[in-house]
DNA sequence: ATTTTTTGTATCATAATTCGGAACATGGTT
DNA sequence: AACCATGTTCCGAATTATGATACAAAAAAT
């Protein structure tokens, strides 16, 4: 479905462009001809997904794109089902809360709630979370059943900071620990000074569909997070999963039963 | 651009469907064949705009549609520029606030903020506002320069309640009043018991691009709204218009404020 | 001012693409 | 077991999108 794919390429290129963009610029960004891009822009304007600035003749995203996004927000389960849990988690921990969703395009940041610290730490919605260098990535990898971890062996692990796990066997060991604990951490593995704590979110079929995480300064979320932080994240993940129809408990037991791993480490 | 149009028809049909929908149902809703619809569904799933429920094999809107919408929310001026004014207006009046945007598909509800009354009155985002039977419609008609009012002559005015204005000349007289006052009202003209008060929103070129309105019970927003309500709506409209780059004042003078220095947004 | 470059838009023949019908597979219902 | 409705696959026909070329107008450069 070539033309449809191209139409969406055009839509996305314009939508994610800050400001406006013209036909020519788009054409060689998408490696096509001006004529083709022009035609696509026209139909998208027709449909209200884009609008053309009458004076500059350049294009920007339009109202209809916003409307289908709103419709989606009500129906994409992990968005609708995480609203309350996000707020609770933010209030309990004070940290920035990040929801990510696993799609065929990777583990994508879907929603965020900025923490209370005076220095605001955020993550851009829509960005792709590195599987091996983020807490969210590891939380999802550990409980994934489609063999995502296998794919990493071929690709290799890029080192983003001195703390990034670049050895695949070391990563596997960490994933084993994540499975045992029910949560994943990543301290300064993506960006120096920033740390995260994440837990997986499951849907009604028990499949891992995303994660909920807190992200903050390494000063607030330590290499070994506090039991309170862990408990709060696990509880939030459980709540969201239940909202998605997940039955039973996540691999951990948030309350009673086996306490979260809290070994006295050297 | 036939296939692209159809692709968006499919996307919209699925996105605005409450719950999930199947290939066959979609095919005769769009008057096409199953094969064609199926192919389109496939490419949309490919791109992440739709997802297929593995167990029911039916389709629903997906994460990417949400992301596009989020990107649009930041760049569609009237959405981004009305956030604060909406909240203020809601707090000042206690009523439900509605933002609408004028597009080639009509005057569309883009965003709402539910009022404080215990009986919640809302308007569905995405719905089309009747030009002649809503305060928002009249506010836009009165200040429109593209001859939207002319088009109504051909179409005629459908009576939705006993209070709907169905005479085109009477409507013209009302529009004249709207131009003089800067605001429009519609008491029980769309739905008995419900009343609204709206003011137009202008962009940097001075064109009317939408409206901001309060909607509520006829008990709270009377046939002749209070000066406080009128003042609040007018001030909100002025604020939003300024945020869109509109220079100078709307046709009224809210309270002797002056326009801020023109500043590019984004 | 005048040329040069770059922009958005229009046209058109070719070729690749999408379409639609029919056939197949599968699961649920009668 | 037969039936019905569903999602999916296949393939020839022809509609449809493509990209080269051309044009107008606005910037940029001379």
Q: What is the DSSP secondary-structure string of A169-208?
A: HHHHHHHHHHHHHS-EEEESSSSTTEEEEEEEEE-TTS-E
pLDDT digits (tens, 9 = 90+) for B104-133: 889 999 999 999 999 999 999 999 999 999
> Which residue of B7, B71, B104 is in closest CB contact with A15?
B71
CA–C1' A5–C4 (A): 36
Question: ∠ CA(A83), CA(A69), CA(B15), 5° rounding?
Answer: 105
Does residue B110 contact residue B210 with C-beta atoms inside 8 Å? yes
Encoded tokens for A150: 């296998």
The answer to whether the Cβ–Cβ distance between B70 and A126 falls below 8 Å is yes
Q: Looking at the C1' of nucleotide C27, which residue has the nearest alpha carbon?
A: B56
Sign, Cα dihedral of A30, A31, A34, A35: negative
> Which residue of A16, A18, A104 is in closest CB contact with B48?
A104
pLDDT digits (tens, 9 = 90+) for A126-152: 999 999 999 999 999 999 988 888 889
User: Between the CA of residue A96 and those of A117, A131, A217, A220, what are the distances in Å?
Assistant: 9, 20, 10, 11
Three-class SS state of A252: coil
Q: What CATH number should be reported for the domain whose range is A76-243? A: 3.30.450.40
Average of per-residue pLDDT across A251-264 = 46
Which residues in chain A are contacts of B3 at CB distance < 8 A?
A: 1, 3-4
User: What does the mean pLDDT of chain B come to?
Assistant: 92
> Which residue of B46, B61, B75 is in closest CB contact with A72?
B61
Q: Is A41 exposed, middle or buried (0-12, 13-18, 19+ CB in 10 A)?
A: buried
pLDDT tier, A106 (very low <50, low <70, confident <90, very high otherwise): very high
Helix (H) or strand (E) holding A63: helix A63-75
pLDDT recorded at residue A146: 82
Residue labelled with tokens 């609203």:
A83
The answer to whether the Cβ–Cβ distance between B64 and A105 falls below 8 Å is yes
Which nucleotides on chain D have any atom < 7 A from a protein Cβ? 5-10, 15-22
Average of per-residue pLDDT across A184-199 = 97
pLDDT digits (tens, 9 = 90+) for A61-79: 999 999 999 999 999 999 9
- List of protein residues whose beta carbon is under 7 A from strand D: A 2-3, 6, 32-36, 39-40; B 1-4, 22-25, 34-35, 38-39, 41, 52, 57-58
Closest Cα in chain B, distance from residue A235 (Å): 24
Which chain B residue has the Cα nearest residue A17? B71
Q: Report residue A52: phi and psi, to 5°.
A: -100, 130
pLDDT tier, B71 (very low <50, low <70, confident <90, very high otherwise): very high
Q: Report residue A45: phi and psi, to 5°.
A: -65, -45
Q: Report residue B238: phi and psi, to 5°.
A: -65, -45
pLDDT recorded at residue A251: 64
Average of per-residue pLDDT across A117-124 = 93
CA–C1' B262–D23 (A): 37
Pick the closest to residue A193 from A90, A119, A111 (CA basis): A119
Q: Is A200 exposed, middle or buried (0-12, 13-18, 19+ CB in 10 A)?
A: buried
The answer to whether the Cβ–Cβ distance between B72 and A54 falls below 8 Å is no
Per-domain residue ranges for chain A?
2-67, 76-243
CA–C1' A13–C22 (A): 39
The answer to whether the Cβ–Cβ distance between A71 and B48 falls below 8 Å is no
Domain B2-67 has CATH 1.10.10.10: yes
Closest Cα in chain A, distance from residue B265 (Å): 9
Cβ of B9 near strand C (under 7 Å)? The reply is no
pLDDT recorded at residue A258: 42
pLDDT tier, B30 (very low <50, low <70, confident <90, very high otherwise): very high
CA–C1' B30–C26 (A): 25
Query: What is the C-alpha to C-alpha distance for residues B57 and B21, in angstroms, rounded to an integer?
Result: 9
pLDDT digits (tens, 9 = 90+) for A211-221: 999 999 999 99
Helix, strand, coil proportions of chain A in percent (round to 5)?
40, 20, 40
Nucleotide nearest to A59 (CA to C1'): C8
Average of per-residue pLDDT across A212-238 = 97
pLDDT recorded at residue A26: 95
CA–C1' B41–D2 (A): 32
């Amino acid at each position: 479905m070539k033309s449809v794919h191209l139409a969406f390429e055009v839509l996305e290129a314009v939508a994610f462009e800050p400001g406006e963009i013209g036909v020519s610029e788009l054409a060689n960004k998408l490696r096509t001809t001006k004529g083709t891009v022009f035609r696509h822009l026209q139909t998208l304007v027709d449909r209200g997904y884009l609008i053309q600035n009458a004076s500059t003749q350049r294009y920007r995203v339009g109202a209809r794109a916003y409307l289908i996004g709103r419709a989606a927000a009500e129906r994409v389960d992990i968005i609708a089902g995480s609203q309350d849990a996000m707020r609770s988690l933010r209030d309990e921990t004070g940290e920035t809360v990040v929801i990510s969703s696993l799609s065929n395009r990777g583990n994508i940041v879907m929603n965020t709630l900025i923490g209370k610290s005076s220095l605001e730490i955020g993550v851009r919605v829509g960005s792709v979370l590195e599987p091996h260098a983020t807490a969210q990535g590891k939380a999802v990898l550990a409980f994934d059943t489609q063999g995502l971890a296998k794919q990493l062996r071929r690709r290799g692990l890029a080192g983003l900071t001195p703390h990034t796990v670049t050895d695949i066997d070391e990563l596997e060991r960490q994933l084993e620990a994540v499975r045992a604990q029910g949560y994943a951490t990543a301290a300064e593995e993506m960006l120096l000074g920033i740390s995260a704590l994440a837990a997986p979110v499951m849907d009604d079929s028990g499949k891992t569909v995303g994660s909920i995480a807190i992200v903050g300064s390494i000063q607030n979320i330590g290499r070994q997070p506090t039991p309170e932080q862990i408990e709060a994240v696990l509880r939030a993940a459980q709540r969201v999963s239940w909202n998605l129809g997940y039955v039973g408990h996540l691999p951990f037991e948030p309350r009673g039963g086996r306490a979260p791993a809290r070994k006295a480490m050297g």
